[in-house]
Structure 1
């Protein structure tokens, strides 16, 4: 029988708080989503001044990263490299800003961020994960 690590609510809160702190430190109005390893939402926060669509995009970035077991940037790189077929892949967004959460080599969830430049979204997501 296999055993798997799962994110607890206290860990999810730590991720959200650290990501929020990174965004606020830089003056970035973003949405932050945390999902489990199946891409199911665990938390979502949209900071003041962030466009409503960013909440949807952040969640999709996180879901893509969790299900794909990689950063969503990898899919963006594929599309930009000419593999436009990825634009029609179901349950996939090819936008940077989704980062998997790994524990002992296992993906246990992901963080997705949207609202600023792609690399800044990823920076905020990674800051959240470092809190673990």
Structure 2
């Protein structure tokens, strides 16, 4: 059974932070395991004050749904299969880009959430981190 180790989480965190620096988007980066518990976190200098909570919520949502948060937006609209999902949990579900699952041997072992830039930037940073797995 694949799992997200602390060592792997740190490698993912470093790769994501390097991408955030490269594209000039100071970010908060949260990595949660498949049980949605924190494994690693970084708030880069200059990241928005709200970004730690948002990044964690993105990772939580992605780990819960086993899909990128950006893919959820269409699904939670009126008439969509997950309409109302973002308000159905005690912890907010985030339905905009920046949270992506982390896969090891094809199995979702957690998720990374990034906040601090545009949705496109956050997604790019998250994907750079997740690619290390």
> Secondary structure of the equivalent of 1:112?
strand
Q: Quick check: 1:85 aligned with 2:84?
A: yes
Out of 43, 48, 73, the residue aligned to residue 45 of structure 2 is 48
Q: Does the residue aligned with 1:60 lie in a helix, a strand or coil?
A: helix
1:124 alignment partner in structure 2: 125
Scaled by the length of structure 2, the TM-score of the pair is: 0.89
Deviation at 1:81, TM superposition (A): 7.0
1:68 corresponds to which of 48, 65, 77: 65
User: What is the CA deviation profile of residues 67-97 of structure 1, one whole-angstrom value per residue up to 9, with x for unaligned ones?
Assistant: 1111111222224576452331214221211
Report the equivalent of 2:33.
36
Q: CA RMSD in A?
A: 1.5
Deviations 1:77-127 (A, max 9, x none): 224576452331214221211000112221101000001111110110010
Aligned length: 129
Unmatched 5+ stretches in structure 2: none
Cα distance in 2 between the residues matched to 1:33 and 1:52: 14
Q: Determine helix, strand or coil for the equivalent of 2:73.
A: helix
* TM-score (norm: length of structure 1): 0.90
How far apart are the structure 2 equivalents of 1:80 and 1:17? 35
Structure 1 stretches of 4+ moved >6 Å: none
Q: Is the 8 A contact 2:77 2:84 kept in 1?
A: no
Structure with greater helix share of residues? 1
Where structure 1 has 5 or more consecutive residues not aligned to the other structure, the ranges are none
Q: Distance in 1 between matches of 2:127 and 2:97?
A: 12
C-alpha distance after superposition, 1:24-83 (max 9, x if no partner)? 011111100000001111111011111121000000000110111111112222245764
